[in-house]
Structure 1
Amino acid sequence: MIYINARFLTQDVTGVQRFAEQICMELVGLRDDVVLLAPKDIKRSSLPSGLNIQTIGKKSGHYWEQIELPRYLKSIGSPLLVNLCSTAPVFYKNQIVTHHDVTYKRYKKSFSLKFRMLYSMLVPMMLRSSKALITVSEFSKSEILKCFRYDPKKIHIVYNAVGDEFSHDFERSDKSEKYLLAVSSPNFHKNFHGMLEAYNLLRRNHNSDIKLKVIGKSSASFATQDFSTNAKDENITFLGRVDDSELISLYQNATAFVFPSFYEGFGIPPLEAQACGCPVISSNKASMPEVLNDSVIYFDPYNIPEMSDAMLKITSDSALRNMLVNAGLENVKKYSWKNSAEKVNSIIETATASRA
């Protein structure tokens, strides 16, 4: 049997949890010996059929992952454990680990001191205990190698992708409303503050009537930031968390999608937007040129006027938007959860063969 660390089922869904869940769903179609081990406090009750989920232990969080999970595995003969999020039991030897990025080292302002200290302790130990390391881009691989000592031959690139539900086959529900869409969080490296400055500059200099809608965490999370005065702007709507059906509708009806991050290990939202037929303007930093290639309009996220100019171009030029819609649809074809799961399965096969 192959066991998956399914602690992610107890967490809110971000890109990390999306990766883990989608890979698991595809893996069960490739092999019949996959078991997901999870704490009892699973958050998502509407999980897809076919996932063999076994709850173990009495605790949750790091205690469950570091103590109860490896204790259970050792009691059944220490089988291979596959970890698809960014942490793993640090003293368990027979495992494959995943580390999505090192944002916590590059942009310390985005994380608490406690979080940074915990990861700085856990990750090197986790890497030493691993048979192989999965990460999500060549960019992340290079960043991990700069921060940690690890054999580059044991690092495998497994890209994110977009589910089939993200589709451009639709009829716009409201052609009258024009808006830019962003999926963001208050974390500093997401550069929400810069995007707001660029948007305000667009409206101030060009009298634009375009609105801005922001998805992510809660409106309260944004409202407590230094840019909280924008929370009262009737042209800016903070939507908080939305389910996938609402997210897809927002992508499909947006004039364009804005991705202003300073740092991303991969960045799923621009691909989701492209799959829904939404043109994208994006930061030119970190993994974004690797993931998006030539399918978007790029800007320097540290250059507010440049970001604002990109907003102006995409909102005022319908021919450019149409070109980027087509380019985006072609770009998305390069990514597949099935192909990514096949790569993970190949890594699993190599790890199990080496132990035989």
Structure 2
Amino acid sequence: MPCITLVTDGIDGIVGPIRVAYLLGSAFIRMGIGVNVVSPYVGDEVRREFGQVGIKVVELGIKPWLPGQLGHLLIWLMNGLRGLINYSDDCVSINLSFELPIPSTIFYAQGYVGDLLRDLSREFPMHYRLGYYVALPLISAADSTYHRALSLSKYVIANSRYSAESVESRGVRVHAVINPPIDTEFFKPTPNPSQDYVLTYVGKETQFSVLRAIADAGVKLVAFGSKVPWLPRWFTRHRNIDYRGRVSDEELVKLYANARFTVFPFTHEPFGYVPVESMACGTPVLTYNKQGPGETVINNETGWLVSNPDELVKMAVRLWEGGYDESMRVRARERATAFSVPRVINEWVNTVSGLIKG
């Protein structure tokens, strides 16, 4: 029986890129193809979930020293400094990981961590910024290892045009672009949305100064997200900000669906789940005309794309005070269906089959 090996980051749960691996692996198994997942580490509950659909898990025993995103970042840095990892079997391999620099049949390019940290450092508190500059030679070395694994792979697929351009600017051909999937059956609109607040996400890529300017101008913000170690003190105390922290998936759908619009000021985002999830819930998005969000949001149809922070703040106030054509909510939902799970997984299956046969 033919087989496929999916290389992933450490698996804490079936979210983000791990969800791509789970859905893609499940699709190949239904086609009669055996599937292995190779990961630095795998949680016991997730291992059982993979096993239930027939996916075999291979754990490399690389444990994170710290929890959360810092732990994943340290695995990336440690493996990048060690050099290429020579894992191989008799299967066609697809590398969906940034933590394991393993040359593969197909490498899924999702942006360079060095580029991410460079852009994020502009918003870092001073002590984080100093740490970044001290570690810059190590970061560059690890990023170089990641790129070498990518360049030694037979085919490259990118998660956005922005990621594709980043790879090709470094001299490697990208054979296809496939965006990550969104569960549009779960993320969906609600009847008669309240629209009495503007939703925003806070994470490592957030421009907090922009959110402060928006809130200072009188816009009522509801914020979610807990993946940032430097949340400003003023943020949780601002009279116009209702910070919810980590929320359940069910609560998140309600927050998206009832918002007047979602505002997404970011420093670096190769794809961006937040804008697409928001549109799937029928809520237009205000963000920048660059990188991944500049590709997924259609200006003046499913949201608004601006060039800089000043324009974003002015547009947020204008939309809060003056509203917009309600037909945009319908068009936002329609746009999100382009990223539905069945459509994206079918694109993956067809692309992988075509590359391998070709």
- What TM-score results when the alignment is normalised by the length of structure 1? 0.78
Is residue 168 of structure 1 aligned with residue 189 of structure 2? yes
Instruction: Mark the CA change 1:19 to 1:96 in structure 2 (over 3 Å): closer, same or farther.
Output: same
Query: Partner of 1:54 in structure 2?
Result: 57
C-alpha distance in 2 between matches for 1:109 and 1:348: 32
Query: Partner of 1:80 in structure 2?
Result: 92
Residues 58-67 or 80-89, more deviating:
58-67
Is residue 196 of structure 1 aligned with residue 212 of structure 2? yes
Residues 322-331 or 27-36, more deviating:
27-36
Residue of structure 2 aligned with 1:259, choices 252, 256, 264: 264
C-alpha distance in 2 between matches for 1:97 and 1:10: 22
Contact 2:105–2:153 (CA under 8 A) maintained in structure 1: yes
Is residue 186 of structure 1 aligned with residue 204 of structure 2? yes
Contact 1:83–1:97 (CA under 8 A) maintained in structure 2: yes
Query: Partner of 1:207 in structure 2?
Result: none
Query: Partner of 2:334 in structure 1?
Result: 330
Question: Aligned-pair distance for 1:25?
Answer: 4.4
Residue of structure 1 aligned with 2:114, choices 82, 104, 108: 104
Question: Structure 2: which amino acid aligns with 1:85?
Answer: S
Residue of structure 1 aligned with 2:237, choices 229, 232, 242: 232
Contact 2:215–2:240 (CA under 8 A) maintained in structure 1: no
Instruction: Mark the CA change 1:4 to 1:297 in structure 2 (over 3 Å): closer, same or farther.
Output: closer
Q: Which has the higher contact order (CA 8 A, sep 6+)?
A: 1
1:114-193 equivalences under 5 Å are 116-146=139-169, 148-152=170-174, 155-163=175-183, 164-170=185-191, 172=193, 175=194, 178-187=196-205, 190-193=206-209
Q: Residue 333 of structure 1: SS of its match in structure 2?
A: helix
C-alpha distance in 1 between matches for 2:191 and 2:209: 32
Question: Structure 2: which amino acid aligns with 1:334?
Answer: A
Q: Residue 244 of structure 2: SS of its match in structure 1?
A: strand
Contact 1:86–1:98 (CA under 8 A) maintained in structure 2: no
Q: Residue 166 of structure 1: SS of its match in structure 2?
A: coil
Residue of structure 2 aligned with 1:212, choices 221, 233, 237: 221
Question: Aligned-pair distance for 1:350?
Answer: 4.2
Q: Residue 349 of structure 1: SS of its match in structure 2?
A: helix
Query: Partner of 1:289 in structure 2?
Result: 294
Contact 2:199–2:263 (CA under 8 A) maintained in structure 1: yes
Deviations 1:102-157 (A, max 9, x none): 463276152643673354222221123201111122232122212x12124xx310
Query: Partner of 1:2 in structure 2?
Result: 4
Moved over 6 A (4+): 63-69
C-alpha distance in 1 between matches for 2:208 and 2:29: 37
Question: Structure 1: which amino acid aligns with 2:165?
Answer: S
C-alpha distance in 2 between matches for 1:116 and 1:229: 31
Aligned-residue CA RMSD (Å)? 3.3
Contact 1:231–1:237 (CA under 8 A) maintained in structure 2: yes
Is residue 42 of structure 1 aligned with residue 43 of structure 2? yes
Instruction: Mark the CA change 1:34 to 1:303 in structure 2 (over 3 Å): closer, same or farther.
Output: same
Contact 1:38–1:53 (CA under 8 A) maintained in structure 2: no
Where does structure 1 lack aligned partners over 5 or more consecutive residues?
Answer: 204-209
Deviations 1:305-355 (A, max 9, x none): x2222212322334x15122022012112223223223322343345446x
C-alpha distance in 2 between matches for 1:251 and 1:213: 10
1:5-20 equivalences under 5 Å are 5-10=7-12, 13=15, 15-20=16-21
Contact 2:303–2:332 (CA under 8 A) maintained in structure 1: no
C-alpha distance in 1 between matches for 2:147 and 2:237: 44
Contact 2:294–2:305 (CA under 8 A) maintained in structure 1: no
Where does structure 2 lack aligned partners over 5 or more consecutive residues?
Answer: 64-74, 122-131
Instruction: Mark the CA change 1:253 to 1:35 in structure 2 (over 3 Å): closer, same or farther.
Output: same
Contact 2:160–2:271 (CA under 8 A) maintained in structure 1: yes
Question: Structure 2: which amino acid aligns with 1:116?
Answer: I
Contact 2:119–2:267 (CA under 8 A) maintained in structure 1: no
Contact 2:269–2:293 (CA under 8 A) maintained in structure 1: yes
Residue of structure 2 aligned with 1:315, choices 311, 316, 320: 320
C-alpha distance in 2 between matches for 1:139 and 1:236: 32
- What TM-score results when the alignment is normalised by the length of structure 2? 0.77
Deviations 1:214-259 (A, max 9, x none): 22225x7343x4xx32321132133222231121111112221111
C-alpha distance in 2 between matches for 1:237 and 1:353: 53
Instruction: Mark the CA change 1:215 to 1:85 in structure 2 (over 3 Å): closer, same or farther.
Output: farther
Contact 1:11–1:43 (CA under 8 A) maintained in structure 2: no
C-alpha distance in 1 between matches for 2:45 and 2:201: 21
